[in-house]
Amino acid sequence: MVEAGARAYLKVDLEFSGVPVPAIRALVASWSRARPGLGRGELTAMAGALWARPLYECRQAAVILLERRAGLLEAADIAVIERLLRTSRTWGLLDGLAAHGAGMEDIVKVTVYVTDIRAFNDIADIRSRYFPEDGPSSVICEIKALAWPEFLIEVDAVAVVP
């Protein structure tokens, strides 16, 4: 019954094992601590392997792992992160728009802040997947730093919900 309730709440067709989030966090923390020399390639490979399983808790673990080790990510990883977001199959692994009933079609303005402008082409490619040529007003700004040093990108989207 918990699984059916979770599926309905998260609007998802992924499988559930019933592992609570604190247990997932503890498992990811333990795995991460056991790999002090973890590199960017191993991080993205593990996140990708976790994401490939159609199990909500595996995808949750991928998100937690990427959050814990965000300092290893580089501007080139924006496309990887976007793919994970695009294929999440639930708002529960995202935030913002879906949680408030808005969709991509409701966005009227997007501001992208990056710490490395060399990500511009990747961001433009990602943007073109979501918005047609007549999409929302957009701005990209290179800034010295974001709220946390390991952050590479911040996207601020304004949506008008009818």
Residue 1 has pLDDT above 50, yes or no: no
Q: Is the pLDDT of residue 100 over 60?
A: no
Instruction: Supply the Cα-derived Rg of the chain in whole angstroms.
Output: 17
Question: What is the C-alpha to C-alpha distance for residues 107 and 97, in angstroms, rounded to an integer?
Answer: 9
Give 18-21 contacts, CB < 8 A, sequence gap 24+: 19/57, 21/60
DSSP secondary structure letters along 9-72:
HHT--SB-----HHHHHHHHHHHHHT-TT--HHHHHHHHHHHHHSSBHHHHHHHHHHHHHTGGG
CATH 3.30.1330.40 residue ranges for the chain: 98-159
CATH of domain 98-159: 3.30.1330.40
Domain at 2-92, CATH from 3.90.550.10, 3.40.720.10, 1.25.10.90, 3.30.70.250: 1.25.10.90
Band of pLDDT at residue 134, cut at 50, 70 and 90: confident
Q: Judge whether residue 64 has pLDDT over 80.
A: yes
| Average pLDDT of the residues in 130-152 | 84
Work out the average pLDDT over 44-67.
89
Return residue ranges of the chain for CATH 1.25.10.90: 2-92
Residue 29 pLDDT more than 60? yes
